[in-house]
Structure 1
């Protein structure tokens, strides 16, 4: 998730061997006069007789890079498979991309460049600052698919995510129930990112923990290169903290936990939304021992047919990403898969409107088996996810271990 060759940092399109299939459907439907001439009359931006151009907007640098390092590789893998089997209605899916540097202002600039300069049909997005461009993309009626980590994903009908980490109101008991089941009673919330989305995420956690009888004693904003973690650990010890959670990035967590152990803080529970990545374990695994991560997709350790397909495609179309079984690769794969599903639903002559309308009508999306349960896009927008899969870092920090049960669900809190 952290380290990739910088040779990736140049504009590229996904290129895979196409089968040379003719376009079988015309713009006027399966029974039309059709053929290449009809397909070439499709006028939506980014759509030609042979290609559909997407925009890829993600955090390739900045604070969020550690969470999205393999995201582009996952997109390449999913689109590579699609293009190798003829694309969508005979069109390859290609893309232009921009790095938003984990900055909302750059996110907006990147989106504007993709739409106005590159003429993309829709946007695939992997970032924690999507709010920067959300209003602009909605105003342009641009379809957007990606990781629903911010409130903005719940508030715009053109934006699609398979799950939502945060919503403006309400919460769920799942986090508090888990922490209490592990013996946690007194918590500190750690924040590695600024902004309204993080504050709202902490509100959800607070409501969830308090509903389970877990007290929240302290909240800290931390930065891996600036925070005095020894001082923070001493304050945790003085407050008898036994639980650490929040929107904490892995690099900061790897500084906090050794300091807490050295100070004698007896942590019964460490719960984080990010960090499920073997590359991370290779870099800092012992520091993260015992940490529990919760996921919105089936963990790779269960080794299903869907995992085998993803890993094989990564090895073929994104061999620079090693190891291929990474959380952000799964995020990229699922985001690209939603884009493909939307194009299928849009018909042989897709428009942005038909994409949004068609994908919103899909009621059984399961990410090809990567999701723990199917998603109904007609009703899921703005609904905080109730069920998550939980994995734990092993005692020696070398591997992830799915908990038993791996899938845990909670109850909505209003």
Structure 2
């Protein structure tokens, strides 16, 4: 995970969420009587650093598997070559690499869900600016939303794929959004970058009907934004804190607070579920686990619920993609009166095939 660099604020305390889930399991005696130990490696969201850390982890520290909470995917070919089980944050290799398991549903460059555009439409958005920072995964997300917008009947007058990462002066971007005629925006970038654009829009007097931005459902981030995030919504892959009827989420939040960690971090829920998924694989692998047993057993699971943390169950069996199908439901949190307010239920869209624009699920 990135502890330093522009990605660090987005992934803050993800390691503590992993530690929380592991400590819960160890308190019950571990898996088949064995306690689980965890090492943390800082890849700084840098490809070369991640590859170096991967080699250290696998060859130096002899890890069994890896819980990945990073937007960088440079080390995945190495993990695949060594058949290392990987669970965690959505990265494109998780759509095809048999050893890699997304904790929140299969990512894809071939299919996209319309959930985000459907949410923006409920806010009155008819024309959306799509903006990503300059990384492959973020740019892919923005490109997918081009198709999603078209399938949802939303215009796309502006596409930016090279926005500066992290905190920056986004005045020129705000003016480009204004001049494009867009009445909504989708911002796929690190949290500080989303805040920068929201602040620039406010400073330039650009009032959009709806903005979706990553990582802004955190009271600490909201308080620091100077009111710029009011009305902005974020997409969560896990059930948000504060939704009634989800005791697992309440236990997670209380456990994070007790550990002095921030449960509202944009990736903390994903980190917790990724650790839960690693534990699930270890249990399925049996009392004498091997990497191959882990991978084969987990690939046969078709109703994984993330310990009650996921909006909908996910499958790791072949579906639209070798490793399953994209999830078409997301939970949204909106900043209202300076606080993150979750929707009462997830928003579900359709799954659209990129090549044809046809709805396939």
Compute the TM-score of the two structures, normalised by the length of structure 1.
0.79
1:192 and 1:222 in contact (8 A); partners too: yes
Partner in structure 1 of residue 39 of structure 2: 96
Partner in structure 2 of residue 384 of structure 1: 326
1:188-243 deviations in Å (ceiling 9; x for gaps): 11212422x22321121000111222221122332267854223222322222211
1:150-209 deviations in Å (ceiling 9; x for gaps): 2111120000113347412122222222222221122211212422x2232112100011
Among residues 136, 140, 155, which one is paired with 2:78 in the alignment?
A: 136
Partner in structure 1 of residue 51 of structure 2: 108
Q: CA deviation at 1:382?
A: 4.9
Partner in structure 2 of residue 34 of structure 1: none
1:237 and 1:264 in contact (8 A); partners too: no
Among residues 276, 280, 285, which one is paired with 1:341 in the alignment?
A: 280
When residues 261 and 97 of structure 1 are mapped into structure 2, their CA distance, relative to the original with a 3 A threshold, is: closer
Q: Aligned partners of 2:62, 2:16: CA distance in 1, in Å?
A: 23
For residues 294-333 of structure 1, what are the structure 2 equivalents within 5 Å? 294-303=235-244, 304-316=246-258, 319-321=259-261, 323-333=262-272
Give the ranges of 4+ consecutive aligned residues of structure 1 lying more than 3 Å apart after TM superposition: 224-228, 323-327
Q: Aligned partners of 2:70, 2:116: CA distance in 1, in Å?
A: 23
2:195 and 2:229 in contact (8 A); partners too: yes
- Is 1:190 aligned to residue 131 of structure 2? yes
Among residues 289, 303, 308, which one is paired with 1:350 in the alignment?
A: 289
Q: CA deviation at 1:139?
A: 0.6
Among residues 71, 95, 101, which one is paired with 2:14 in the alignment?
A: 71
Q: Aligned partners of 1:346, 1:208: CA distance in 2, in Å?
A: 38
1:241 and 1:266 in contact (8 A); partners too: no
Q: CA deviation at 1:259?
A: 2.1
Among residues 157, 164, 176, which one is paired with 1:217 in the alignment?
A: 157
Q: CA deviation at 1:331?
A: 1.6
Q: Aligned partners of 1:325, 1:227: CA distance in 2, in Å?
A: 23
When residues 374 and 202 of structure 1 are mapped into structure 2, their CA distance, relative to the original with a 3 A threshold, is: same
Partner in structure 2 of residue 372 of structure 1: 311
2:94 and 2:106 in contact (8 A); partners too: no
SS of 2:75 mapped into structure 1 = helix
Q: CA deviation at 1:61?
A: 1.6
Compute the TM-score of the two structures, normalised by the length of structure 2.
0.90
Q: Aligned partners of 2:159, 2:341: CA distance in 1, in Å?
A: 28
Q: Aligned partners of 1:225, 1:139: CA distance in 2, in Å?
A: 33
Q: Aligned partners of 2:168, 2:272: CA distance in 1, in Å?
A: 34
Q: Aligned partners of 2:23, 2:130: CA distance in 1, in Å?
A: 40
Q: Aligned partners of 2:163, 2:213: CA distance in 1, in Å?
A: 14
Among residues 138, 141, 147, which one is paired with 1:207 in the alignment?
A: 147
When residues 226 and 312 of structure 1 are mapped into structure 2, their CA distance, relative to the original with a 3 A threshold, is: closer
Higher relative contact order (CA 8 A, sep 6+): 2
1:301-327 deviations in Å (ceiling 9; x for gaps): 1152102321333345xx231x43434
- Is 1:85 aligned to residue 15 of structure 2? no
Which structure 1 residue ranges, 5 or more long, are not aligned? 1-57
Partner in structure 2 of residue 180 of structure 1: 121
Q: CA deviation at 1:357?
A: 1.0
Q: CA deviation at 1:93?
A: 0.1
Aligned-pair Cα RMSD in Å:
2.0
SS of 2:156 mapped into structure 1 = strand
Among residues 269, 276, 289, which one is paired with 2:210 in the alignment?
A: 269
State the aligned residue count: 348
Partner in structure 1 of residue 359 of structure 2: none
Partner in structure 2 of residue 160 of structure 1: 101
For residues 207-246 of structure 1, what are the structure 2 equivalents within 5 Å? 207-220=147-160, 221-223=162-164, 227-246=168-187
SS of 2:312 mapped into structure 1 = coil
Partner in structure 1 of residue 340 of structure 2: 400
Q: CA deviation at 1:85?
A: 1.1
Structure with the greater alpha carbon radius of gyration: 1
1:388 and 1:409 in contact (8 A); partners too: yes
When residues 272 and 226 of structure 1 are mapped into structure 2, their CA distance, relative to the original with a 3 A threshold, is: closer
Which structure 2 residue ranges, 5 or more long, are not aligned? 354-361
